């Protein structure tokens, strides 16, 4: 199943919504267009591709709209909001990518797949929600919503209390066969947006949604394994993974083995809220047969794969 030039490209959440910028659709389209250089470079090099993306700001906005219209419009569960943003953001990426491919005279089709991701209903993360979603509330409101809506609430810094939901590890993509078939036909597939929609299997084998969020880098690693990708590109706002990030002794990592990354992770170099999930997803991808994980900026994917910049994680 493995192809010599098959890759999954995971676009970071800041590819489409930039911190400090008004989050209009016009700005999101402009940012999307600017984030495509690495994908175009890989397409030009003949890679078969799956593209995933983050959706944190977009889901946050969707949750805010639900709150503002509560009592006037039906309340939408988190899983439906993830699916909504997969479709909307998939449309933006798909249209922008199609236009860019035509400009570059690259004859490739593009398709968006709303992706359900299977999780283990017994995953410990489900019993211990830790992912903050939505807006901040006062302690009194947090108590009220915990009692009336069944939300689990935790204090988030000095700004107040927020809802927390589980973030289980994905097991497989329900549409894996469809994604693989499209990829084998050289279609660039946009899948697992925001990590995909979390679902679990009931005892009689039916699928049910879950109010949870899945890390998009873990979802990307799973899809990479399922389609036989040899490369996982995690594109973010920084050029390389660093040790002692932000400190005077900061050190950029070039080519690193998976066991070296495990040691750095155990030593606490990669915080849970930033580079940690990316490194864990990279380790999982390599241990399941992947040949390389590249972590770099949006414009550096092609160069990083070839060893000119970025961080490359490889088997021992």
Positions marked catalytic: 13-14, 131, 216, 278
Bridge partners (DSSP) of residue 233 are: 9, 294
Angle at 110 between CA 105 and CA 116, to 5 degrees: 160
Q: Is 246 exposed, middle or buried (0-12, 13-18, 19+ CB in 10 A)?
A: exposed
Q: How far apart are CA 23 and CA 249, in angstroms?
A: 35
Q: How far apart are CA 84 and CA 78, in angstroms?
A: 10
C-alpha 27 chain-centroid distance = 20
- 126 closest CA partner among 91, 158, 168: 168
Could you tell me which residues come within 8 angstroms of residue 123 by beta carbon, excluding any fewer than 6 positions away?
166, 168, 169
Compute the radius of gyration of the chain from its Cα atoms. 19
Can you state the angle between helices 37-44 and 78-103, rounded to 10 degrees?
Answer: 60
C-alpha 193 chain-centroid distance = 6
Q: How far apart are CA 33 and CA 218, in angstroms?
A: 24
- 292 closest CA partner among 205, 224, 199: 224
- Relative to beta strand 231-236, strand 292-297 is parallel
Q: How far apart are CA 25 and CA 21, in angstroms?
A: 11
Q: How far apart are CA 167 and CA 178, in angstroms?
A: 25
């Amino acid at each position: 199943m493995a192809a010599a030039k098959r890759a999954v490209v995971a676009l970071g959440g800041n590819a489409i919504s930039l911190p400090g910028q008004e989050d209009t659709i016009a700005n999101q389209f402009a940012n999307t267009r600017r984030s495509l250089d690495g994908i175009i470079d890989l397409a030009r090099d003949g890679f078969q591709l799956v593209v995933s993306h983050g959706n944190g700001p977009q889901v946050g906005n969707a949750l805010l709209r639900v709150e503002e219209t509560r009592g006037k419009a039906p309340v939408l569960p988190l899983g439906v909001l993830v699916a909504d943003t997969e479709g909307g953001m998939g449309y933006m990426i798909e249209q922008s990518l199609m236009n860019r491919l035509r400009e570059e005279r690259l004859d490739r089709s593009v398709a968006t797949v709303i992706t359900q991701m299977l999780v283990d209903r017994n995953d410990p993360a489900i019993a211990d929600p830790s992912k903050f979603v939505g807006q901040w509330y006062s302690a009194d409101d947090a108590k009220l919503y915990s009692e009336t809506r069944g939300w689990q609430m935790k204090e988030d810094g000095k700004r107040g209390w927020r809802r927390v939901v589980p973030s289980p590890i994905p097991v497989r993509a329900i549409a894996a066969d469809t994604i693989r078939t499209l990829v084998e036909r050289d279609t660039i597939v946009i899948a697992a947006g925001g990590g995909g929609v979390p679902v679990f299997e009931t005892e009689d084998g039916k699928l049910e949604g879950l109010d949870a969020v899945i890390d998009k880098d873990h979802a990307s690693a799973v899809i990479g394994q399922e389609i036989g990708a040899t490369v996982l590109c995690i594109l973010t706002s920084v050029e390389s993974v660093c040790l002692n990030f932000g400190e005077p002794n900061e050190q950029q990592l070039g080519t690193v083995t998976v066991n070296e990354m495990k040691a750095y992770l155990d030593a606490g170099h990669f915080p849970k809220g930033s580079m940690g999930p990316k490194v864990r997803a990279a380790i999982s991808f390599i241990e399941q047969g992947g040949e390389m994980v590249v972590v770099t900026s949006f414009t550096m994917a092609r160069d990083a794969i070839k060893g000119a910049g970025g961080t490359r994680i490889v088997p021992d």
